[in-house]
Amino acid sequence: MSDTHAQTVAFVRHTEIPPAPPPPGQTGAVKWMRENLFSGPFNTIMTLLGVYIVYTLVVGIFPWIANGVWGVDNIRECREITQGNGGACFAVIEQRWQQLLFGFEYPSSEYWRPTFAFVLLFVAVAPVLFLNLPRIMLAFTGIYPFLAYFLIWGGTILIPITALLGFVVGYFAFRRLERNSFAAGLFGAVAAALITWWVTGFLVQAAPNFLALPEVASRNMGGFMLNMILGTVCVSLSLPIGIALALGRQSHMPIIKWICVIFIEFIRGVPLITLLFVANVVLAYFFPPETSLDLILRVIIMITMFSSAYIAEVIRGGLAALPRGQYEAADSLGLDYAQATRLIIMPQALKISIPGIVNVAVGLFKDTTLVSVISMFDLVGMIRGPILSSTDWAGVYWELWAFASVLFFVVCYGISQYSQWLERKLQTGHR
């Protein structure tokens, strides 16, 4: 072929040219920093200011942690070692971590019991938090509250067994009578449970030491364990009570509606610390004179009432956000009030209310530290009381409060992250 003919033939590619890589400034960390940290003069100034603040904090805190002292017996030995280097006295945590977690008077030989109950808590809540787990695990979730009571408080195992038996009998009575009406099922369940507890109570009296663990009085409960007990129990109880109050407030029956309205508005208008004083001093007068109501139980009642009022308002907001067509769709399917609420209305309202419910739960867990004002030695009460008042560790503050902050942060951050994951999974946000 001649050179002239070769120059007149066009060249056609049969494959696509691979795309050229983008400029280095438009990918990776450089692109992210340009878009998020240095996108404008104001953002650039704020970024530099933030870097300066973080640098100042790190420079100030790092020596305090790096030069920390462990393995001494009192603050005087700490001060002798940390002369001039600004180190922390972490030895107080090493010496008193058991009291910070379990309280001052909980028997040290029984620490395995609340620890085991805490581990089982994750197994119990797993099928509730993650719906893809086998539903058979919900049976252990129902058993766990009674098992945890037996492990932490001790006594004969017949007490939690009889309590569980009453709930089981009440559940089957409800399912049997619910076919007639929801109210008949509810009253029948309560009656069946009360009769079961009355009959089986004689069995507990006849064998008080049957498969018993050493009893631990409630006044011996303390430390972070007490915060976990109050937070877990109160959040678990306040959610169904809050749902009932929210539905009652929207009821068309005037008596039920105004009872719920008065309860919610009164509780929301009273500080929690006032209710705790009521639980400590006044609540016992509402029970028969021969009744010795446990202080922890009284505190659980008051904190549950407080949090359920706030959860009721959060759920009421979720109910108000539902379009009217959802209620009309339930009516068109021929569902009664209980079926429509359980199958259509409440699942959607709870999805909308997830952020608010989690906010109340996190706030409630942190508010459990208020029990220290009524002489209950929770984590804060232990720090302010037996530990700081001792001559060995008088003057140690930041180390103990930092330890308490880490514990509460881990729990509250875990709750927050789970709620965000659940929101993404259920797609509660608007697109």
pLDDT given for residue 430 in this prediction: 47
- Residue 269 tokens read as 């208008």
| This prediction's pTM | 0.81
> Rounded to 5, what percent of the chain is helix, strand, coil?
75, 0, 25
Q: How many CB atoms lie within 10 A of CB 70?
A: 14
pLDDT for residue 410: 92
CA distance 233 to 240: 12
Integer Cα distance of 275 and 306 in angstroms: 8
Domains recognised in the chain with CATH numbers: 110-426 (1.10.3720.10)
- Three-class secondary structure assignment of 195-246: HHHHHHHHHHHHCCCCCEECCCCHHHCCHHHHHHHHHHHHHHHHHHHHHHHH
pLDDT value, residue 431: 43
> Consecutive sets of 10 residues in the chain, 431 residues long: mean pLDDT of each?
56 74 66 80 88 89 83 82 78 86 86 91 87 81 89 86 85 78 78 84 71 84 90 90 88 86 89 84 70 79 90 88 78 75 82 86 89 84 83 82 91 88 70 43
b/e map 214-247, b = 16+ CB within 10 Å:
eebebebbbbbbbbbbbbbbbbebbbebbbebbb
Number of C-beta neighbours around residue 352 at 10 A: 18
Chain centroid to Cα 18, Å, comes to: 53
